[in-house]
Amino acid sequence: MSVRINGQMILAAVLTGLFTGLFVSSAEEFFSRDATFSGTEALATFVSLPLLAALLVSIGLRRRHLARRLTGVAYLTLAIPLFGIGMGGANVLQQILGGVIGGGFWGLLFATRLSHIDAVSK
């Protein structure tokens, strides 16, 4: 058995992480201008924007069948690297970089699959 990695999925996941980091950090900066980040602002930021990033990438790359996987990548990227980086007071560029790294990591989990190269079909 060997492991195969889908390159298109990795590219889509990295782009999803990039857009998730960009959208979330930009929304945080925009909504934090009045020095408060209320619950409705957080709900609008953390629920809708990762979904928007995943859908934009899947439609932009014309790979609509990847939309569910990319949605998973977007929310996992938001949960693990972006929340931690954001709580540390990162700026937009740092969150975009964290989104790219997180998207690549989580996309790797969705892009790998086992293949049976030596298997004989009957």
- Separation in Å, CA 121 to CA 4, 87, 103, 117, 118: 19, 53, 36, 10, 9
Percent of the chain with pLDDT over 90: 77
Token pair of 108, please?
A: 């790797």
The answer to whether residue 119 scores a pLDDT higher than 60 is no
- Residue 73 and residue 102: Cα distance in Å, rounded? 8
Domain boundaries, the chain: 2-115
- Residue 57 and residue 66: Cα distance in Å, rounded? 9
Q: Tell me: the pLDDT tens digits for 12-69? A: 999 999 999 999 999 999 998 988 888 999 999 999 999 999 999 999 999 999 999 9
pLDDT band at 3 (very low <50, low <70, confident <90, very high): confident
